[in-house]
Structure 1
Amino acid sequence: MPADMNDYFKKKKPSNNSGSNQNNSGGGNFQNPMGNMGKGAPWIFILLAIAFGLFALKPFTIINSGEVGIKINTGKFEDTPLQPGLHFFIPVLQKIVPVNTRIRLITYSDVTTGALGDGYRNYEGGLKRNPAITVLDRRGLTVNIDLAVQYRLRAETAPKTIEKWGTSWEEKIINSKVREVVRDVVGQYTAEQLPEMRNEIAAAIETKIKQSVQELPEKPVILTSVELRTINLPTKIKEQIERVQIAKQEVTIAEQMKEKAKQEAQRKAEIARGEAEKNRIEAQGEADKIRIEAEEQAKANKLISSSLTNELLQLEQIKTQGKFNDALKVNKDAQIFLTPGGAVPNIWVDAKGKEQKTISAEQ
C-alpha cells in the first residue's frame, strides 16, 4: 500500500474525457474516502484490529490468590502449576484453566441449610452438600451418619490431579473414600453401642480417611479435618436406649441415696464413738481426780497422824475443857460427859430443855 493514499488515488483518477463521458452517463467524480484522514490512518486501523483480536481471542488470564493455573499446550497438561498473577498464552494452541486450592467443605446431612458464600462464588473455597451416609450396623439395622469433611487440593500436584482424576476429583477421591470408611467403621458396632462409642468411632473414621487419602499416588488432596456430627438411630433403638438410660439413672440415684445413707450412718457412728470416748475420758478424769484426792488425803492424814503426840492431845483436851467451862458459866444445868482417857469430842447435854440435845464438839 502506498504511503500517500492521495497520490495513489490521483493516479487512478480517470481522464477528463472519460470523466465527461461519465458525466454524460450520469456518473460523478470518484472521491478518496480516506483523503482527509492523513498519513496515520493505516496505523489506527492496525491498532484497532489488534485490540479487536485481543478482545475476541483474549490470549491472557488472571490467576487469583487461592488458585493455581493449569497450562494446556495442544491438549497436554504442563506439570508446573501457574502461580497467582497475569499469564499469557497462545489462543487455539494453548489454554490456562484456573483451579481452586482453597479449603473446601463437603457435608453429609439430611438437614438443609441456606447456601453459604453465594455473593462470592468466584472466591469461596467450595461447599458441597450430600445426603447423610446410610450405614448398616452389625445386626443389619439402618443408621444415618452426619459428617463434615474439610480438605483442599494440593497446589503442587494440581495439574497431575486434574489430568488423572478430571474435574470430578472430589467425587472420585473424597466422597468415595469417606463413604467406604464410614461403612467399614460403623458396621463393626451395634446401633446401641454407637452413642457410647461415639468418640472412638469419630477418631477411627478420621484416622482411616486420612490414611486412605494419603496413600493415593502423588497425594492429590490435603485432608484438614473430619467431624462426626450426628448419629441418627432408628426410632425403636432410640426409645430402647432412652429406657435403658432412664433405668441407669434410677439405679445411679438409688446408689447415690444408698451411699448417702451409709455416709450418714458412718457420721452418726463416729459421733457416738466420739461421745463415748468423751464420756470415758471424763469418767477417767473424775476417777483420777477422786483417787488423787484420796491419795492426798491419806498422805495428809498420815502426816497428821505422825505429827500427833500425847502432849499435843492433852493440850487439845485442856483447850476443850476450857470451852466447856465457859459454857457452864452460861448454863449451869448442863451436863458434860467426858470420854474415857480424856479423848475428844466430849458430850454436852442441855438439862433445861424437855428434849436432850447431843452436841459433838470437834476441834
Structure 2
Amino acid sequence: MKPLNVPKNNQESQIAFKVILVLLCLALLSSFFAIVNAGERGVLMRFGAVQDTVLSEGIHPILPIVYTVEKLSVRVQSQEISAEASSRDLQNVYADVALNWHIIPTEAHRLYQEIGNKQAVIERIISPAVEEVLKAVMAKYTAEAIVTERGTVKAEVDQALTKRLQPYHIAVDDLSLVHIKFSERFREAVEAKQVAEQEAKRAEFVALRAVREAEAIANRARGEAAAQQLLQPGLTPEILQRQAIEKWNGNLPLIVGGEGVKLFDLKQLVETGQK
C-alpha cells in the first residue's frame, strides 16, 4: 500500500489553527492575572465598584469579568503652571510655577474614586489649587516685598499648597517660583526709583564732602590762630625787622604817579649818592 499524502495546504491550516489556539489560551490565561509595573499602584474594581484593596507592584491573580484593575502612577510628576495675581499694593503679578507632586500610594483608590485619572487630577485639582494659593499669598505682600523676600513667599506658597492638596490624596514634593514678572508700568517705576535713590546718594556724598572740607579749613584756621597766639609774645620789633631784612630781595620801591609817570626811584637815588 502507498502512504497517504496529506495536502500541504491542510498542514499549514492545522499549524495556523494550533498557533491561534495557543494565543487564545495565553490571552485567556493572562486575563486571570493583573501586572502592576514599578512606580504604579493598581485600583481593584469589582463590577466597576472601587474596592479598598490597593494592588502593589507585581503579579496579582484576579477573576476576569468580575474584577478589573486601573493602574495609576505614584511616581513624582512635574507640572508647570502659569498664574496671575495681585500684590497688596494692587500691582499685577505674573508667576510661573514648577510643581513636583505625587499620588499618595496608600490612597490611590480613593483618588481614583473621587477624582479620576492623572489628567483629571491636573485639570480639576492641581491647576485651580495653584492659582488660588498664589493669589492668596501674593495679596499679603507688596510688589517690592515679593522680589526681596522671594524665599519667604515661596515657603508660604509651598506650605499652603501642601495643606490644600492633602485632602485630595496628593503630596507636594517641591515647588519653585521659576519666574515672577510685573507690568511694564511697574518696571518703569522701579527703574525711576532706583535712579532717584542713586541721585540722592550722590547728593548726600557731595554734601558730606563739602562739610568735611569746611571742617578741615576751620581746623586749619584754628591751628594757625593758635600758632600765632603762641608766637605773638616772642615777636619783638627787632625780630620783625630782622625777618623783613632776611626776606628783602634787594630792590628799593619805585614811586609812580598818574598815567604811569615815574616820580621817584629810590634805587636810582641810592646809586647816585654812592657815586
Residue 227 (structure 1) aligns with = 176
Deviations along 1:158-181, one digit per CA (max 9) or x if unpaired, are 111111111112333322221111
How many aligned residue pairs are there? Answer: 208
Tell me if the contact between 1:63 and 1:98 (Cα under 8 Å) persists in the aligned partners. yes
2:116 is the alignment partner of 1:166: yes
SS at match of 2:52: coil
Q: Tell me, yes or no, if structure 1 residue 185 matches structure 2 residue 185.
A: no
Question: CA 1:192–1:61 in structure 2 vs 1: closer, same or farther (change >3 Å)?
Answer: same
Equivalent position SS for 2:106: coil
From 180, 185, 189, give the equivalent of 1:240. Answer: 189
Distance 1:54 1:222, change over 3 A: same
Gaps of 5+ in 2: 1-5, 221-275
**Structure showing greater Rg:** 1
Q: Which amino acid letter does the alignment assign opposite residue 24 of structure 2?
A: F
CA distance in 1, matches of 2:71, 2:21: 28
Q: Which runs of 5+ in 1 are unaligned?
A: 1-31, 109-131, 273-363
- Give the RMSD, CA atoms, in angstroms: 3.8
**Letter of the 2:194 counterpart:** Q
Per mean C-alpha deviation after superposition, the further-off stretch among 250-259 and 88-97 is 250-259
- Counterpart for residue 245 of structure 2: none
- Structure 1, residues 297-346: CA drift from partner, whole Å, max 9, x if none? xxxxxxxxxxxxxxxxxxxxxxxxxxxxxxxxxxxxxxxxxxxxxxxxxx
Corresponding residue number in structure 1 for 2:47: 74
CA 1:144–1:73: 2 relative to 1, 3 Å: same
Equivalent of 1:83, from 56, 76, 95?
A: 56
Distance in 2 of aligned mates of 1:237 and 1:73: 58
Q: Take 1:188 and 1:251, find their aligned partners in 2: how far apart are those partners? A: 30
1:78 counterpart SS class: strand
1:199 pairs with 151, 160, 165, which one? Answer: 151
1:97 maps to what in 2?
A: 70
Residues 139-173 of structure 1: per-residue CA shift (max 9 Å, x gap): 55432111111111100111111111111123333
Question: Which of the pair is proportionally richer in helix?
Answer: 2
Q: Which has the higher strand share?
A: 2
TM-score by length of 1: 0.48
1:155 to 105, 111, 114: 105
Amino acid at match of 2:35: I
Kindly, what percent of the aligned residue pairs are identical?
A: 24
